[in-house]
C-alpha cells in the first residue's frame, strides 16, 4: 500500500506539473492572443470586462483549472477504485484470484486513456459554451477551440508519456505484493482487451502531429491576416483621406453616403459606415456595428500608433478605418469596415493539413507495421518454444537489419544457442542428481531390508531346529510301545505349529521382497496400474518399519475411507512420495524419541486426501517460500533437495494431483497429497 500511494502521488505531480508548465508557456508567450489575432490593447483591462465580463487571464485560468480539476477527480476516483479492487483481490478465494487480478489490471490500464480524453474534451466543451455565451460567432469559436485543443492535447500527450510507465509500475508492485494470495495464470489477454505497441505509437505521435499542424496553420493564418490587415488599412486610409468633404451641407447624411459610395471597395463584404453627432449609425449594408467595434473606436483607437484603425471582436478577422469630419460645425465619423477572412487561404491551409495528416498516417502505419512485424517474428519464435516445449524445434532467425531490431534478433539467436547448451547440461545434472537420490534411497532401503529379513530368517532357522528335534523324537518313537497315539498326535501338532510359523515368516519375507522390488526400479520405469488403499498402506508400513523403529517414532494410520478404494497410477512412485514425507517428519523431531506421526487418508468429493502430519518444529520461512519451486534441503550436505521437489513433480505428472502443506512454527507440519479418483 505504501508503494501504491507513492506512485499515485507521483502521478498527481506529473499530471499537474505538465499541465501548469505547458499552460504557463502558452500564457507567457501569448500564443492565444497572437495566433487568434486579438486586437491590440484589448485584453486584461476594463475594456475587456465591459465587453466580456471576464478578462483574458480569468478566462485562461478558468479553462486550465477545469482541466486540472477534472484530471484530479479522475485520479482520485481511480485511486479509490484501484484500492477497492486490490482489497477484493486480497480477500478473494485463490480460485478467483486470476480473474480479480485481471479486473484490477484492466481498470488501471484504462486510466491513462480516460484521463487523456477528459483532459482534452471537457475543457473544449466548456470553451465552446463560454464563447457562445460571449456572443462569438462559429468561425471564432472554431479557431479558439482548435488552439486550445492543441494546447490540451500537448499537455495530455506529454502526461501520457510520463505516466504510462508509472501505471505499469503500479501493476508490477501490486503483483508482487499479492503474490502470496494469487495464482496468476498466463491468460492475460483473455481478461484484458489486447492493445499494441502500434496503438501506443499512434496515441503519442498522431496527436503531436495534429498539434504541430494546427499551431503552424494558425500561425500562418495569423501572419496572412496581419499582413492583409496592414495593406487593407493603408489602402482604405488613403481612400478616406483623399475624399473631399464639404464644410456645410443641408443633408450631411445623404452627402456622406454619396461620397463614401465612390470608394473603390476591394470586396463585396467591405462596407462604409457613418456615425452622426447624435451617435446614430448608418451602414451601407444596413448591418449594425458591433458594440466591440464602436467602443474600440472611441476608447482604444486613439491610444494606438495608428489612431484611426479599428478592430472587431476577439478572433474576428474584421477591422476598420475611420476619419473625423466637421460639417455644419458638428463632428461626424465616417469609415470603412473591411473583412479580412480569406476563404481561399483558409481552404488551402485546411487542405494542406488534411493531405499532410493522411500522408503522415499512411507512413506511420507502414513504419509501425514494419516494426511490429520484426517484433512479432521474435515473439512468435518464443511462443513456439513455449508451446512445443522443445528448443530444438526452433531454428535461428535470419538477421535482416543492422539496427536495434537486428541486435534483438542476434541476441535471440545467441540466447537460443546458450539455452540449448544449458538445457543439455541441466539434463546431465538432473540425471546425476536423480541417480544420486535413487541410490541414497536404495541405500536406506537396503538397511531396512536387512533388518526386516533378519528377524524372519532367524525365526525360520529356530523353527527348523525345533522341527528337526521333533523329527528326531518322532523317529525314535517308532516301534516304542510306550508311545501312544496321543503322543503321536502331540508331536504332529508341534510339527504343524512350526510349519505354520515358517509359512507366515515366508509370506512376510515375500511381502518385503515385493515391496522392495517395486521401489528398486528407476523413475522412468513407472507404470500406471490400479491399486487399493490397503495395498498402499501395507507397503508403506513394511518399508518404513525399520526407520520408524530406529527413531522410536510411532506411525498412526487413520483410514477414513474404504480400504478397498481403488486408485490409478504407479503405486511405487506414490509409496516413495509418502515415505519421503514420513522420513522428513521423522527428521523434524531432531532425534527426540517417543513421538508420533499421523498418516490420515480421507475422501473429499472426487479426491483422496493423504495427509502426513507431524508435531515437530515446523518449516522455516525461507523453506516455505521455495518449497516445491526449487530443489531446497534443510539437511545441509546430506541432502540433495530432490525429495519434495521430485515428489511434487511426481504427483503432478503421474497422478494429475497436487501437494499442499500447512505449517506452524513450533507446532508441526502437515502435507496433503491430493489425488483425483
At 40, is the pLDDT very low, low, confident or very high (cuts 50, 70, 90)?
very high
The more confident residue out of 656 and 102 is: 656
Report the percent of the chain where pLDDT is more than 90: 16
| Stretch 641-661: mean pLDDT | 75
The whole-number pLDDT of residue 214 equals 83
Please answer whether residues 262 and 364 qualify as being in contact, where contact means their C-beta atoms are separated by less than 8 angstroms: no
The whole-number pLDDT of residue 439 equals 57
Q: For residue range 483-510, list pLDDT tens digits in order.
A: 777 777 887 887 777 788 777 777 767 7
The whole-number pLDDT of residue 512 equals 65
C-beta neighbour count of 482 within 10 angstroms: 6
The whole-number pLDDT of residue 164 equals 79
Distances from the Cα of 544 to the Cα of 445, 453, 511, 551, angstroms: 9, 14, 13, 11
The whole-number pLDDT of residue 616 equals 86
pLDDT at 235 over 90: yes
What is the fold, at CATH topology level, of the domain defined by 243-341?
Beta-Lactamase (3.30.450)
| Stretch 360-378: mean pLDDT | 74
Q: For residue range 122-145, list pLDDT tens digits in order.
A: 888 877 887 777 655 777 788 888
Please answer whether residues 531 and 564 qualify as being in contact, where contact means their C-beta atoms are separated by less than 8 angstroms: no
Poorest-confidence range of 88-97, 210-219, 566-575?
88-97
The more confident residue out of 148 and 404 is: 148
The more confident residue out of 367 and 50 is: 50
At 599, is the pLDDT very low, low, confident or very high (cuts 50, 70, 90)?
very high
The whole-number pLDDT of residue 274 equals 94
- Look over the chain and give the mean of its residue pLDDT values, rounded to a whole number: 78
> Which of 379-389 are b and which e, b meaning 16 or more Cβ less than 10 Å from the residue's Cβ?
eebeeebeeee
The whole-number pLDDT of residue 522 equals 42
pLDDT at 636 over 50: no
As given in the structure block, the three cell numbers for residue 500 are: 505354520
Could you state, in order of their start, the residue ranges of all structural domains in the chain? 2-194, 243-341, 395-520, 527-677
The whole-number pLDDT of residue 641 equals 38
The whole-angstrom separation of Cα 395 and Cα 289 is 80
As given in the structure block, the three cell numbers for residue 512 are: 518385503
Distances from the Cα of 245 to the Cα of 259, 334, 434, angstroms: 8, 10, 117
Poorest-confidence range of 28-32, 147-151, 632-636?
632-636
pLDDT at 85 over 80: no
pLDDT at 171 over 50: yes
The whole-number pLDDT of residue 346 equals 64
pLDDT at 669 over 80: yes
* Cβ burial, residue 292 (10 Å; 0-12/13-18/19+): buried
pLDDT at 297 over 90: yes
The whole-angstrom separation of Cα 155 and Cα 166 is 17
C-beta neighbour count of 510 within 10 angstroms: 11
Greatest mean pLDDT range, 362-371, 380-389, 434-443, 512-521: 362-371
| Stretch 559-587: mean pLDDT | 85
Pick the CATH number of 527-677 from 3.60.150.10, 2.40.10.220, 3.40.1170.10, 3.30.565.10: 3.30.565.10
Contact partners, residue 32, CB within 8 Å, separation at least 6 = 26, 38, 56, 60, 144, 147, 148
Q: Say what the pTM is.
A: 0.55
As given in the structure block, the three cell numbers for residue 447 are: 538397511
Poorest-confidence range of 175-179, 270-274, 372-376, 528-532?
175-179
pLDDT at 588 over 60: yes
> Which of 108-129 are b and which e, b meaning 16 or more Cβ less than 10 Å from the residue's Cβ?
bbebbeebbebbbebbbebbbe
The whole-number pLDDT of residue 448 equals 56
The whole-angstrom separation of Cα 271 and Cα 283 is 7
pLDDT at 605 over 70: yes
The whole-number pLDDT of residue 99 equals 72
The whole-number pLDDT of residue 523 equals 42
Contact partners, residue 673, CB within 8 Å, separation at least 6 = 574, 577, 578, 581, 609, 610, 611, 612, 651, 657, 659
| Stretch 643-665: mean pLDDT | 80
243-341 and 527-677: identical CATH topology = no
Alpha helices in 389-484 (DSSP H): 404-477
pLDDT at 631 over 50: no
The whole-number pLDDT of residue 445 equals 57
The whole-angstrom separation of Cα 63 and Cα 48 is 17
The whole-number pLDDT of residue 197 equals 64
Poorest-confidence range of 205-219, 531-545, 608-622, 633-647?
633-647
Q: What angle do CA 384, 388, 389 make, to 5 degrees?
A: 110
Amino acid at each position: 500500500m505504501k508503494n501504491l500511494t507513492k506512485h499515485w502521488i507521483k502521478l498527481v505531480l506529473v499530471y499537474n506539473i505538465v499541465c501548469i508548465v505547458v499552460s504557463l508557456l502558452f500564457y507567457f508567450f501569448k500564443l492565444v492572443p497572437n495566433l487568434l489575432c486579438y486586437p491590440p490593447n484589448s485584453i486584461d483591462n476594463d475594456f475587456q470586462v465591459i465587453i466580456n465580463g471576464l478578462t483574458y487571464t480569468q478566462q485562461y485560468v478558468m479553462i486550465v483549472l477545469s482541466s486540472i480539476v477534472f484530471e484530479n477527480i479522475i485520479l482520485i476516483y481511480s485511486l479509490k477504485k484501484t484500492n477497492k479492487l486490490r482489497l477484493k483481490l486480497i480477500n478473494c478465494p485463490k480460485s478467483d484470484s486470476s480473474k480479480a487480478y485481471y479486473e484490477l489490471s484492466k481498470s488501471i490500464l484504462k486510466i491513462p486513456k480516460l484521463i487523456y480524453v477528459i483532459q482534452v474534451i471537457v475543457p473544449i466543451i466548456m470553451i465552446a459554451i463560454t464563447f457562445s455565451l460571449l456572443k462569438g460567432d462559429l468561425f471564432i469559436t472554431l479557431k479558439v477551440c482548435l488552439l486550445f485543443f492543441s494546447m490540451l492535447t500537448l499537455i495530455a500527450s506529454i502526461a501520457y508519456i510520463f505516466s504510462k510507465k508509472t501505471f505499469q509500475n503500479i501493476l508490477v508492485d501490486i503483483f508482487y505484493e499479492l503474490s502470496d494470495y494469487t495464482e496468476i495464470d498466463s491468460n492475460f489477454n483473455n481478461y484484458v482487451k489486447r492493445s499494441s505497441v502500434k496503438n501506443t505509437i499512434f496515441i503519442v505521435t498522431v496527436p503531436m502531429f495534429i498539434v504541430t499542424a494546427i499551431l503552424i496553420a494558425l500561425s500562418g493564418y495569423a501572419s496572412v491576416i496581419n499582413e492583409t490587415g496592414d495593406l487593407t488599412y493603408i489602402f482604405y486610409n488613403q481612400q478616406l483621406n483623399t475624399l473631399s468633404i464639404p464644410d456645410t451641407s443641408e443633408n450631411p447624411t445623404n452627402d456622406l453616403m454619396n461620397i463614401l459610395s465612390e470608394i473603390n471597395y476591394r470586396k463585396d463584404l467591405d462596407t462604409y459606415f457613418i456615425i452622426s453627432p447624435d451617435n446614430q449609425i448608418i451602414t451601407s449594408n444596413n448591418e449594425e456595428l458591433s458594440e466591440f467595434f464602436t467602443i474600440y473606436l472611441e476608447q482604444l483607437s486613439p491610444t494606438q500608433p495608428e489612431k484611426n484603425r479599428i478592430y472587431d471582436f476577439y478572433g474576428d478577422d474584421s477591422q476598420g478605418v475611420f476619419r473625423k469630419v466637421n460639417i455644419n460645425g458638428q463632428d461626424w465619423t465616417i469609415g470603412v469596415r473591411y473583412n479580412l477572412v480569406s476563404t481561399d487561404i483558409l481552404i488551402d491551409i485546411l487542405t494542406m493539413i488534411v493531405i499532410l495528416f493522411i500522408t503522415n498516417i499512411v507512413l506511420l502505419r507502414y513504419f509501425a507495421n514494419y516494426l511490429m512485424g520484426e517484433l512479432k517474428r521474435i515473439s512468435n519464435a518464443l511462443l513456439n518454444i513455449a508451446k512445443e516445449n522443445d528448443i530444438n524445434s526452433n531454428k535461428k532467425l535470419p538477421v535482416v537489419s543492422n539496427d536495434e531490431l537486428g541486435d534483438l534478433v542476434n541476441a535471440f539467436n545467441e540466447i537460443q544457442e546458450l539455452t540449448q547448451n544449458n538445457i543439455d547440461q541441466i539434463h546431465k545434472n538432473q540425471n546425476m542428481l536423480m541417480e544420486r537420490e535413487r541410490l541414497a534411497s536404495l541405500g536406506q532401503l537396503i538397511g531396512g531390508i536387512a533388518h526386516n529379513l533378519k528377524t524372519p530368517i532367524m525365526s525360520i532357522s529356530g523353527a527348523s531346529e525345533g522341527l528337526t528335534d521333533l523329527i528326531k523324537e518322532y523317529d525314535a518313537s517308532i516301534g516304542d510301545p510306550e508311545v501312544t497315539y496321543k503322543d503321536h498326535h502331540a508331536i504332529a501338532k508341534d510339527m504343524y505349529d512350526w510349519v505354520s510359523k515358517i509359512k507366515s515368516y515366508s509370506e512376510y519375507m515375500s511381502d518385503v521382497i515385493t515391496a522392495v522390488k517395486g521401489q528398486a526400479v528407476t523413475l522412468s520405469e513407472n507404470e500406471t496400474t490400479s491399486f487399493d488403499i490397503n495395498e498402499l498402506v501395507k507397503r508403506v508400513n513394511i518399508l518404513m518399519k525399520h526407520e520408524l523403529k530406529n527413531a522410536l517414532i510411532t506411525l498412526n494410520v487413520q483410514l477414513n475411507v474404504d480400504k478397498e478404494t481403488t486408485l490409478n497410477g504407479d503405486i511405487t512412485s506414490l509409496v516413495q512420495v509418502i515415505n519421503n514425507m514420513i522420513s522428513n517428519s521423522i527428521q523434524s523431531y531432531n532425534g527426540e524419541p517417543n513421538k508420533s506421526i499421523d498418516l490420515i487418508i480421507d475422501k473429499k468429493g472426487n479426491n483422496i486426501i493423504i495427509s502426513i502430519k507431524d508435531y515437530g518444529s515446523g518449516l522455516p520461512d525461507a523453506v516455505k517460500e521455495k518449497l516445491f519451486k526449487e530443489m531446497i534441503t534443510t539437511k545441509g550436505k546430506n541432502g540433495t533437495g530432490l525429495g519434495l521437489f521430485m515428489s511434487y513433480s511426481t504427483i503432478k505428472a503421474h497422478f494429475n494431483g497436487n501437494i499442499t502443506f500447512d505449517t506452524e512454527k513450533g507446532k508441526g507440519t502437515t502435507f496433503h497429497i491430493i489425488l483425483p479418483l
